[in-house]
Structure 1
Amino acid sequence: MMRNRLLAALAGGDRDYLQPFMVDMALPRGLELSLPHDSIEHCYFPTAGIISTVVVSPKGNQAEIGIVGREGMSPSSAISGSDRHPFRTVVQIDGQGWRIRREDFLRHIEDRPSIRGVLLRWVQAFSCQIAFTALSQSVHNVDERLARWILMCHDRIGGDRMALTHEFLAIMLAVRRASVTNALHVLEGNGFIYSRRGTIIMRDRAALQAFAADAYGECEREYSRLFPFEN
């Protein structure tokens, strides 16, 4: 359980309290964990891989508003006690994680205020990420937004190779696949990344971060402030 940073932030007794109700499971790419307005059955704490939170319009248009890796859990709305989630959550990069039934999860955070306190910090951190995603979609160009998402994925996977398809990148950026291809060419042409058949390989993170400028960094600093011992 310590491989998930949110679970690692809990006191040892709180982790022991949750452990019997947690199930270790694979999280294969494409697995849908929740759909808009459906009942929440389980909560997930990734130890590897990335879960994507996607907003879906009534006409079926989609845009990614946040990602969750080993630093958090999904869906965050369960922490408030909601039995519905307004977004689609789907595994974007293969991984592993812990699953707990929503009813068990809610009972435990009611019984243990110390667990609730840690989880509420996570809600704030994830809300900050969603807010800066909205800002980035409004003020940054596609190249900068792609740089931001690649940096965010790189933060969460523990390696330089990321299985990111053009289809997922288009959802992440709310653009056409042709725009994704053009943006990848820009980043690759500058020597920041390699892009090969659904795989992006980090080449020069420092230069990519400089290119992203103020598109990246603020929600990461907020997470570090809220969880200073988990980085």
Structure 2
Amino acid sequence: MALQAGIGNRLLAALPSADFNLLAPHLQKAAFGFNAVLVRTGDDFRHVYFPCSGAISFLVEMSDGQIVASTLMGSEGAVGALSILSPARSRSPVTATAYVAGTALHVPVSQLQRAFEQSAAIRRVLRFHFRTQLLQLQNVAACNAVHSVECRMARWLLDIHDRVGASRIQLTQEALAHLLGVRRTTVTLTMRKLRETGGIISEQRGVLEIDRTRLGTIACECYGLMRDRINRMYDEELPVGSPNIAHAQHSPS
């Protein structure tokens, strides 16, 4: 497993070498910047992306034009993996946009489908991924229903900080509005409150400087509960010695 253990994506790192080698000849590396779009709503799925660094948000566009983020994915996941379960051409129901710049390995959907049919290990790893994604979606839905905007913004900033590893985060107010499902005016007011409590130190030209410790006292319990639960699932079911999702890029300060 040494060949793939250092590539950065935890799903690929969990595969035995023989199973990883079914994908290796077809994997290509790509870099993406902040706000880069990997796939748009309605586009055909042509590739599945295995992020090695950075963070990608899944955006849902409502009928009135409002855009809401459903979840965030980093090096623990695979963008577009559900497309392999479709017997015919599959179109994306969401837009996948990078909120933290990084890199990914991508493979054609057709190649991943073949490997999925051939390899029990690949089926196990991807089914595990589907379960963790469903769990996170359920948690985000519950969190949005019961927790305040301030608590949710702190949670999203911690989630993003986990992938950045630095106190300065490139994130526009528009992106925060998508994450929170609110208008820009609400984002402005909420950021002001977080600056008053010390969670956000400064904001300038789309770059936020945060205090992680302060944000940890403001965020709802969803952040810690989901981080610990997902990390425990990976440790128990995909024990490859890779860093957990909260430490994929850094050790929290």
> TM-score normalised to the size of structure 2?
0.84
Decide which of 115, 118, 121 is 2:125's aligned counterpart.
Answer: 118
CA distance in structure 2 between the aligned counterparts of 1:28 and 1:181, rounded to whole angstroms: 25
* 1:40 maps to 2:45: yes
User: Which residue matches 1:182?
Assistant: 189
Residues 1:24 and 2:21 aligned together: no
Q: Measure, in 1, the Cα distance between the counterparts of 2:202 and 2:85.
A: 40
Cα root mean square deviation, aligned: 1.8
Aligned equivalent of 1:169: 176
Q: Does 1:201 align with 2:209?
A: yes
Q: Provide TM-score, normalisation by structure 1.
A: 0.92
Higher mean alpha-carbon deviation, 221-230 vs 17-26, is at 221-230
For residues 166 and 22 of structure 2, what CA distance do their matches in structure 1 show? 32
The correspondence for 2:80, drawn from 68, 75, 82, is: 75
Displacement after TM superposition at 1:99 (Å): 1.0
Offset at residue 119 of structure 1 (A): 1.2
Aligned length: 230
Shift of 1:80: 2.8
Question: What are the Cα deviations for residues 155-211 of structure 1, in whole angstroms up to 9, with x where unaligned?
Answer: 2223332211111001111111121122122222222232322112232x2332232
Q: Following the alignment from structure 2 to structure 1, what is the Cα–Cα distance between the partners of residues 166 and 75? A: 13
Task: Structure 1: state its 5+ residue gaps.
Answer: none
SS of the aligned residue for 1:223 comes to helix
Match of 1:8 among 13, 29, 33: 13
Contact 1:161/1:201 (<8 A) preserved: yes
After TM superposition, the structure 1 = structure 2 runs for residues 58-69 of structure 1, keeping only pairs within 5 Å, are: 58-69=63-74
Deviation at 1:125, TM superposition (A): 1.0
Give the share of equivalent positions with the same residue, in percent: 32
| Higher mean C-alpha displacement, 214-223 vs 95-104 | 214-223
SS at match of 2:219: helix
Distance change (3 Å), C-alpha of 1:35 and 1:17 = same
Structure 2 unaligned regions, length at least 5? 245-253
